[in-house]
Amino acid sequence: MAKRGRKARITEKIYLDAVRKGRTTDNKILSELLGLDRSTVLRYKQNNPRVYEKGLEIVNGFKSVKFDPENITYEMFKIIPVIEEWIEIQVTRRVGEIAIKGRVRSLYNVCRYLKVHPDNLNLNIVSKLVVDSRRAFDNNIEWHRGLTYLTIRKPLRSFFQLVRGISGELLTSKGIDAGRSRGTGSHSKQRVTKLEREKFMIVLPEVTKSI
């Protein structure tokens, strides 16, 4: 996304709308959503402390939303408005039904583990989980069921791109990339190492069962 820099003008409404969409006041994420340099966003916050405080109140309001990770079922999770929106976008884009179910189930597991309502998910919250799961994957360390790197990476990327409007570039910088597994072969068996295939076969029953 092109940066407009100092010539761009941020209004209170534009700033607060970005805060609501990103669920954060983080300069990097807001600059991405607004198409501006981070320095421009920071300068606006410094020059408009009242608006900045409003943004903090909005974010804190999202954090106060009740979410019961112990009792919410998958069926209940699917009818949360933001999840319904995500599903609808995927259907419009002709994503397969099985793929959609797998993605939603993965996000359900993420939200329950983090104890965070999907409305309140932001990159700062999920990026650490993705990085930790990737580290476990790379080092063949046992990881939380339903939260393996191969299970959560693409669903999270889809959610943040389609619902939040976050660019692939920013997601990749946070460790939520869309690249294939290591390897250069064109055949599916050549794209991954033997160890990676073994790891995938371990998590495959978990993924298919969740669907």
For 173-210, what is each residue's pLDDT tens digit? Answer: 988 987 654 433 333 443 455 555 555 566 556 555 55
Position 19 in a domain: yes
Position 142 in a domain: yes
Residues 184 and 95 placed together within one structural domain of the fold = yes
Q: Which domain holds residue 36?
A: 5-63
Position 151 in a domain: yes
Residues 31 and 85 placed together within one structural domain of the fold = no
Q: Say what the pLDDT of residue 76 is.
A: 86
Position 136 in a domain: yes
Count of alpha carbons within 13 angstroms of residue 142, beta-carbon side: 1
Domain's final residue, options 63, 93, 109: 63
Total structural domains within the chain: 2
Position 54 in a domain: yes
Residues 91 and 186 placed together within one structural domain of the fold = yes
Tell me which residue has tokens 């993420």.
Answer: 110
Residues 180 and 82 placed together within one structural domain of the fold = yes
Position 68 in a domain: no
Residues 109 and 46 placed together within one structural domain of the fold = no
Domain's final residue, options 43, 63, 83: 63
Residues 89 and 160 placed together within one structural domain of the fold = yes
Q: Say what the pLDDT of residue 181 is.
A: 45
Residues 49 and 83 placed together within one structural domain of the fold = no
Q: How far apart are alpha carbons 91 and 165 in whole angstroms?
A: 17
Are residues 46 and 14 in contact, defined by beta-carbon separation less than 8 angstroms? no
Three-state SS annotation for 78-97: HCCHHHHHHHHHHHHCCCCH
pLDDT digits (tens, 9 = 90+) for 39-82: 999 999 999 999 999 999 888 876 665 678 878 889 889 988 89
Helix axis angle, 38-47 to 27-34, nearest 10°: 110
Q: What is this structure's pTM?
A: 0.61
Residues 196 and 108 placed together within one structural domain of the fold = yes
